Amino acid sequence: MTAAVQRSSLGVAGAIAELGRATIHGLGWSVLVATMAPSGSVLAAFLGGLGGCLIGAKVARTRVRTSAVVVGAVLLIALVSGLRASLTHGSMLAAMLGPVGALRFAGTLTALLVAAVGSAAMRVGSRRRAIFAVLELLLVAVAFAQLFVPHRHGAINRPFYLTDWIIALGWDPTWLFLFMGGTATVFGLVLLLREQRFGRAVINLGVIALLLAVIVVATPMIGMPPPPDGGGGLGLRSDKSEGKDGESEKQDRGGPAASELEFRNKYNTGGSRVPVAVVLFHDDYSPPSGVYYFRQGAFSQYNGRKLVVSGRQDIDNDLIPYFPTRRIEIENAPPTNDNRGPLETTIALMADHTQPFALEAPLEVEPLDNPSPNRFRRVYRATSAVLTADYISMLDGHVGSPGWSKEQWTHYTEVPPDTRYAELGAEISAALPDELENNPIAKAFAVTGWLGREGIYSLKNDHSGANDPTASFLFGDRTGYCVHFSHAATYLMRSLGVPARVATGYAVSEAARQGGSSLLLSGAASHAWPEIYIDGYGWVVLDVYPERALDPPEQPMDADLQRLLGELARGASPLPLSATDLPKLKELARRMTLTAGTWLLSLLACLVMFLYSVK
């Protein structure tokens, strides 16, 4: 009697375990099909995976060879492919169901048969050899991973069909993806369980549930996983993976933190599409150059090889020195006058930065409360003196500051001892009209224009090993990226008596705002550019725009993501609910309830039929 009871218990436990595995097969296929087929095909894929797994378990107990099962599965899938082609290209089914109906029927039938054949073959293999359980794990992994593909690079608003309704409710879509990842993990662990004893199987499942419960409880305490950091681009952000010439190294290489910019033969753009900050404009502003420049660091001291951060207190003190804990005014900020006007911006950082940045010339900075600590590292407000005058009016200005000492003038005009810089600078300025031949500002414009025409932009070059990488670039193939162009422009301007420096930060086209008040910055916007000092203007950006490039241009950031992150930075609901939204949400809830009920009834029916067949 006892042996009979034990056999009965083992039979029930095995049946429940097999049904659970079959359900996971069905869910895996349905998730895989959900992104490429209508709802009817999703249900068909679920039923096909469920039934195929159960059939495979029975076939595994027969004497049919595994190789024969694999060959048969391949032939059957080829037959299904041919059947689909005949159904979609033929006229009979289209005449009966219509073109749309024929496509739907063919898709549903294909999903049902492919899922059934695939699950049957996988279950035969995993039942006979434990190693073949990897195929079942691969099904779950691929099914859920393809849901996350549009979500990469920090795009929390994608895929739209999953995130739109979550955002409409004012929730963070990241929690949905955490739940889906947990679900996929549970499915994978269940597939690995091979325990046939009912009691031990229940204990194993209980341990899995307990671990997931701990994760659910602990996540709100420690916060959600941080967003990708977007790489260390030009030292603006903390990054341990970047090193000289693109090689990895253990120490951090920052911009101002490391005091220098690295010349690399191959600039690593890994993570360049990841958002690193969002900027909110408190007023409309159109820069004269058509580009927003967010200055973070400055390099003006020549160390015998390149420009580095100066250690002097009276040099480059117009930057934001540190992340403020209270409102601070920036020392030596340019005055607001007819040339510059005040503009407030709110900056929300999504990646750790070596020091703060702000639009052009910051006047004052103050910290703000973080509206979304799980999303943003820091939030602060910056008031900047933005350029309002056009570049033509600058020709009447004077370079340098009357208040500078002789040492400061020498600092900002020091050039390498190589006489070729002065010779090339004189050659470029000689092409100016007679009325501008003695105008230092016009000479600076001529330098940037010449480099734009003669230089070639490329992230791959061969200059980093030279004693003077800038000379190797400028008097060689003139192929390089922003660090090469900015150094070359600065040296040439200095050789002409114009005080200049290299600045780093982010540069984004005005068109990237797309008419909104928020601007999304990514790692791809990391940039270095030359600046000159004009009395009454302060440090003015004179960037180089190469006419030729070997690398494709960067694609604009997602406008919907830019708007969404801007609203989150404001602390507002991304899509505030209105009276017209409530009926839509009620209809959505009704449809979800109906769908869940249908699936639950299908599972119960399958369970009853399976238990009856086992009995």
For residue range 107-152, what is the model confidence (pLDDT) as tens digits? 888 888 888 898 899 888 888 887 887 888 788 777 777 766 655 5
> Is a pLDDT exceeding 60 seen at residue 218?
no
For position 176, what pLDDT does the model report? 64
For position 341, what pLDDT does the model report? 94
Share of the chain above pLDDT 70, in %: 69
For position 287, what pLDDT does the model report? 94
For position 248, what pLDDT does the model report? 37
The CA angle 148-153-155, to the nearest 5 degrees, is 70
Residues 541 and 614 reside in one and the same domain: no
pTM exceeds 0.75 for this model: no
For position 242, what pLDDT does the model report? 44
- Which of 193, 225, 257 represents a domain boundary (last residue)? 225
d(CA 133, CA 73): 17
Give the residue-averaged pLDDT of 226-235: 57
SS3 label, residue 380: strand
Q: pLDDT band at residue 594, thresholds of 50, 70 and 90?
A: low
Per the DSSP assignment, residues forming a β-bridge with 519 are 279
Residues 591 and 549 reside in one and the same domain: no
SS3 label, residue 248: coil
> Is a pLDDT exceeding 80 seen at residue 65?
yes
Lowest mean pLDDT among 136-150, 153-167, 376-390: 153-167
DSSP 8-state symbol, 593: H
> Residue 396 is part of which domain span?
233-246+274-570
In a domain, 253, yes or no: no
For position 352, what pLDDT does the model report? 87
Lowest mean pLDDT among 22-31, 169-178, 332-341, 443-452: 169-178
How many domains are there within the chain? 3
For position 163, what pLDDT does the model report? 59
In a domain, 260, yes or no: no
Lowest mean pLDDT among 8-12, 386-390, 541-545: 8-12
In a domain, 85, yes or no: yes
Residues 175 and 293 reside in one and the same domain: no
Residues 463 and 584 reside in one and the same domain: no
Lowest mean pLDDT among 204-218, 398-412, 415-429: 204-218
Give the residue-averaged pLDDT of 35-62: 83
Q: pLDDT band at residue 294, thresholds of 50, 70 and 90?
A: very high
d(CA 309, CA 396): 30
DSSP 8-state symbol, 572: -
Give the full edge-to-edge strand order of the sheet including 340-349: 328-329, 361-367, 378-387, 340-349, 275-281, 518-522
SS3 label, residue 61: coil
Residues 561 and 491 reside in one and the same domain: yes
Residues 537 and 388 reside in one and the same domain: yes
Give the residue-averaged pLDDT of 74-85: 85
d(CA 573, CA 564): 9
d(CA 386, CA 317): 17
Smallest CA-to-CA distance from 65 within 10, 118, 124, 5 is with 124
In a domain, 30, yes or no: yes
Q: What are 412-427's pLDDT values in tens digits?
A: 999 999 999 999 999 9
Residues 565 and 581 reside in one and the same domain: no
Most confident of 41-45, 181-185, 336-340: 336-340
Most confident of 22-36, 138-152, 503-517, 589-603: 503-517
Q: 613: buried, middle or exposed (CB in 10 Å: 19+, 13-18, 0-12)?
A: exposed
In a domain, 262, yes or no: no
Q: What is the mean pLDDT of the chain?
A: 79
For position 527, what pLDDT does the model report? 92
- Which of 535, 553, 570 represents a domain boundary (last residue)? 570
For position 508, what pLDDT does the model report? 94
- Which of 225, 255, 284 represents a domain boundary (last residue)? 225
In a domain, 522, yes or no: yes
pLDDT top residue among 247 and 445:
445
d(CA 538, CA 289): 16
For position 24, what pLDDT does the model report? 81
Residues 168 and 240 reside in one and the same domain: no
In a domain, 301, yes or no: yes
Q: pLDDT band at residue 269, thresholds of 50, 70 and 90?
A: low
Q: What are 320-372's pLDDT values in tens digits?
A: 999 999 999 998 899 889 899 999 999 999 888 889 999 989 999 999 999 88
pLDDT top residue among 310 and 8:
310
Q: 25: buried, middle or exposed (CB in 10 Å: 19+, 13-18, 0-12)?
A: buried
d(CA 331, CA 334): 9
The CA angle 511-453-430, to the nearest 5 degrees, is 125
> Is a pLDDT exceeding 70 seen at residue 545?
yes
Q: pLDDT band at residue 265, thresholds of 50, 70 and 90?
A: confident
Residues 474 and 529 reside in one and the same domain: yes
Based on its alpha-carbon atoms, the radius of gyration of the chain, rounded to whole angstroms, reads 32
Residues 566 and 592 reside in one and the same domain: no
For position 413, what pLDDT does the model report? 96
For position 600, what pLDDT does the model report? 57
In a domain, 266, yes or no: no
Residues 581 and 566 reside in one and the same domain: no
d(CA 299, CA 263): 14
Give the full edge-to-edge strand order of the sheet including 456-457: 479-480, 456-457, 548-549
- Give me the phi and psi of 573, to 5 degrees please: -70, 130
Residue 334 tokens, joined: 């340019």
Lowest mean pLDDT among 29-33, 213-217, 485-489, 505-509: 213-217
> Is a pLDDT exceeding 80 seen at residue 303?
yes
For position 247, what pLDDT does the model report? 40
Residues 544 and 603 reside in one and the same domain: no
For position 588, what pLDDT does the model report? 55
